[in-house]
Structure 1
Amino acid sequence: MASARILEDDTTQDVDRSDDDYERWLTEAIRAVDADAVRSADTHLLRFPLPPEWNIDLYLKDESTHPTGSLKHRLARSLFLYGLVNGWIRPGLPVIEASSGSTAVSEAYFARLIGVPFIAVVPRTTSAEKTRLIEFEGGQLHFVDDPRTVYVESARLAAETGGHFIDQFTYAERATDWRGNNNVADSIFTQMRAERHPVPSWIVTTAGTGGTSATIGRYTRYTRRDTRICVADPENSCFFDGWSTADAGVSCDTPSRIEGIGRPRMEPSFVAGVIDRMMKVPDAASIAAIQELAARTGRRAGGSTGTGLWAAFRIIAEMRARGESGSVLTLLCDSGDRYTDRYYSDTWLAQQGIQTASYRELIADLLD
């Protein structure tokens, strides 16, 4: 028979690495991560109170309502799916991440969901509440004194343990499907459809990895929307300088006080070409913005939300000065409950020399 003759030939080289046990584990792991997205309702779109006669609307996409309490839940899900389908995450071996907190909280959740160990490499200055949440989700903490060493230390641990360095700072911009599939941009425009200005004039994001601005910027171009992207950067971060000078080699030696955003180097996931505008926001202005948010809406948010909100206020002031109408949208990245010992602590603010009164007066002058 012809089939027997071809099987008798011994000149073909053949290596078969298929593993039925691993394939069954992989199928179940992908199902479990995918099911999390199906179980989770979409996050809310909140309106910030502005005078109606301005004909300008301000929205906050409230990402704090995810199961792990932050915008990073979407990123962690995408990174785990990306690592699984590429064969990088293996049963019994740890997933390791360089993270200042929120990404690690979400990744610890997904690691526990599929039954693998998780190690978070975090700066020693990370807030106590975030480190508590990482451990609550089943993660293990590995502290470093110099925040700039989180990358090399994560890679070293991965090599030492045989685990996978999931590396949000490299893969954030590619792990998420920017064309849609209920990513944050797709969700925003779906929820905006019934508003009086359904296509935002501006969407304001902040940058930790750069993945969110990359996803939203690519999506708005792909769907041909007339929306511009502004990225707000805190003090002690190099993104603004690198973007404005087109220098990918810039660095910053002082760590950001606004947790979750601001980086000491231009991260690989930061896609400069999709960004229309950047603002460098003083830390005191970021914290003043979340103080005003709490006072006017009753919602307490983290400092990164304040950085984006301050930039949104400036854009709205410009629109008013030009007599324009439209909508502006920014992100409520996580809850202020994670930062009660920092941004909502008079003691911490005094220790840092941060005074917010003058910035709150500027916000009040705009809004009142």
Structure 2
Amino acid sequence: MDAGNLSQWADDAVRRVWAEHRVTPLRTVERVSPDGVTVLLKDESLLPTGSLKYRHLGAMYCQAIARGRIAAGTPVVVGTGGAVAVAGAYFARLLELPFTAVVPAKTASGVLERIEGFGGRWQVGELPPVAIQEEATELAARVGGYFLDHFTDADTAMSAAGPTVAEEVFKEVTPDWIVVGVGTGATSAAIGRHLRQHGLPTRLAVVDPENSAYFPAWVTGAADYGTGMPSRIPGIGRPRVEPGFQPDLIDLVIPVPDAAAVAAMGWLHRVAGVNAGPATGANLWGARYLAARLAEERGSGTVVTVNGDNGDAYRHTHLDADWVRARGLDPAPFEAEIAEWDRR
């Protein structure tokens, strides 16, 4: 393919990615907040792959194409067994590119099926999960492909992309707080930058599950903090601080017990009719905490959070009571607390 055709392919590819963009709705979550305070949910689960990671991967593909790293026929490789792999497969199919996800051994079957459903392939990593990224990098080099590094590249890609979650939210409302989870750190960093650049009064909170490094790193200021333990809440929490995490842009980090995230996810399914995953449960738990704080401080306010993951992939895991108990999680005390929300 000559230079002219290469340029034409790149232009067409970027247009095809951005033609896929759609604005997701803000919905009110009833029965979760005290009188006078509104909790709104930005429903990213309605994106084509059912996840907020769809935005990240679209931006990352465009960035890699613009830099000449991905061209027609370039094999694309990722190292993850989560929503990033699903979104990566989606965009690879859109652009007619070969796609492989190197996944941990315990990756949920639902995730693997969705990768395959979008035309991608997967292989189980031979190294421990902590080395999945390294293994994926080596595979990309062997096949002459490109390693899509969502931990390093998502933040820079999102900062150049648009419209972002923040831009869409603030076209509709200027909340007192916006609450998100943190995995790569790209979403919270993009929102934090938007708030600072536009001089907005909204404050940014992130929720952090058990075993994650972000809350202790934020409290202590230790950028190299590590726990050595994986998160049990897919999509958020990391055993180490990733490059995209920007603590200076964050006003508050809220630690959320894993069982509380599971309980809140269950409430969203049963009561609110929201098809959400456990990361969204953690978001709701944090949003409720801030709603109660606003009610106590001044009696009114608005909190926005994000439904970042469709719940379908968790029907045999976090939505299954036997699976939850087998992991040593007891949502019952938190379910009782949530039941009190309805009575207030």
- TM-based fold match above 0.5: yes
Query: Unaligned regions of 5+ residues in structure 2, if any?
Result: none
Query: Unaligned regions of 5+ residues in structure 1, if any?
Result: 1-16, 193-198
Question: Which residue in the other structure is 1:321 paired with?
Answer: 296
Q: Offset at 1:321? A: 2.4
Question: Which residue in the other structure is 1:257 paired with?
Answer: 232
Question: Which residue in the other structure is 2:167 paired with?
Answer: 186
Q: Offset at 1:90? A: 2.3
Give the root-mean-square deviation of aligned CA atoms.
1.8
Question: Which residue in the other structure is 1:150 paired with?
Answer: 132
1:359 aligns with 2:334: yes
Give the 3-state SS of the residue equivalent to 1:176 in structure 2.
Answer: helix
- Aligned 1:1-368 pairs, distance under 5 A: 19-37=3-21, 40=22, 42-50=23-31, 54-144=35-125, 146-177=128-159, 181-192=162-173, 199-368=174-343
Higher mean Cα deviation, 144-153 or 110-119?
144-153
Q: Please say which structure displays the higher CA radius of gyration.
A: 1
- Alpha carbons of structure 1 residues 330 and 52: separation in structure 2 relative to 1, 3 Å: closer
Q: Offset at 1:53? A: 7.4
- Alpha carbons of structure 1 residues 71 and 51: separation in structure 2 relative to 1, 3 Å: closer
- CA distance in structure 2 between the aligned counterparts of 1:351 and 1:298, rounded to whole angstroms: 26
Q: Offset at 1:253? A: 2.1
> Partner letter of residue 250 of structure 1?
Y
Give the 3-state SS of the residue equivalent to 2:232 in structure 1.
Answer: coil
> Partner letter of residue 55 of structure 2?
R
Q: Is the 8 A contact 2:165 2:191 kept in 1?
A: yes
> Partner letter of residue 30 of structure 1?
V
In the TM superposition, structure 1's runs of 4+ consecutive aligned residues that sit over 4 Å from their partners are none
- CA distance in structure 2 between the aligned counterparts of 1:328 and 1:52, rounded to whole angstroms: 9
Q: Offset at 1:18? A: 6.9
Query: Structure 2-normalised TM-score?
Result: 0.95
- CA distance in structure 2 between the aligned counterparts of 1:231 and 1:160, rounded to whole angstroms: 38
Q: Offset at 1:51? A: 7.9
- CA distance in structure 1 between the aligned counterparts of 2:34 and 2:193, rounded to whole angstroms: 33
**Cα-to-partner distance string for 1:29-53 (whole Å, 9 max, x where unaligned):** 222212212xx3x111110114897
Q: Is the 8 A contact 1:100 1:260 kept in 2?
A: no
Give the 3-state SS of the residue equivalent to 1:264 in structure 2.
Answer: coil
Query: Structure 1-normalised TM-score?
Result: 0.89
Q: Is the 8 A contact 2:34 2:292 kept in 1?
A: no
**Cα-to-partner distance string for 1:73-116 (whole Å, 9 max, x where unaligned):** 11111000000001011222211112231111111111111111
Q: Is the 8 A contact 2:32 2:39 kept in 1?
A: no
Q: Offset at 1:294? A: 1.9
Q: Offset at 1:205? A: 0.5
- CA distance in structure 2 between the aligned counterparts of 1:257 and 1:295, rounded to whole angstroms: 22
Give the 3-state SS of the residue equivalent to 1:54 in structure 2.
Answer: coil
RCO comparison, higher one (Cα < 8 Å, 6+):
2
**Cα-to-partner distance string for 1:315-344 (whole Å, 9 max, x where unaligned):** 112222223311001111122111001111
> Partner letter of residue 339 of structure 1?
Y
Give the 3-state SS of the residue equivalent to 1:354 in structure 2.
Answer: coil
Q: Is the 8 A contact 1:285 1:307 kept in 2?
A: yes
Higher mean Cα deviation, 101-110 or 252-261?
252-261
> Partner letter of residue 220 of structure 2?
T
- CA distance in structure 2 between the aligned counterparts of 1:225 and 1:112, rounded to whole angstroms: 39
- CA distance in structure 1 between the aligned counterparts of 2:19 and 2:323, rounded to whole angstroms: 40
**Cα-to-partner distance string for 1:301-325 (whole Å, 9 max, x where unaligned):** 1000011111111111222222331
Give the 3-state SS of the residue equivalent to 1:77 in structure 2.
Answer: helix
Higher mean Cα deviation, 20-29 or 78-87?
20-29
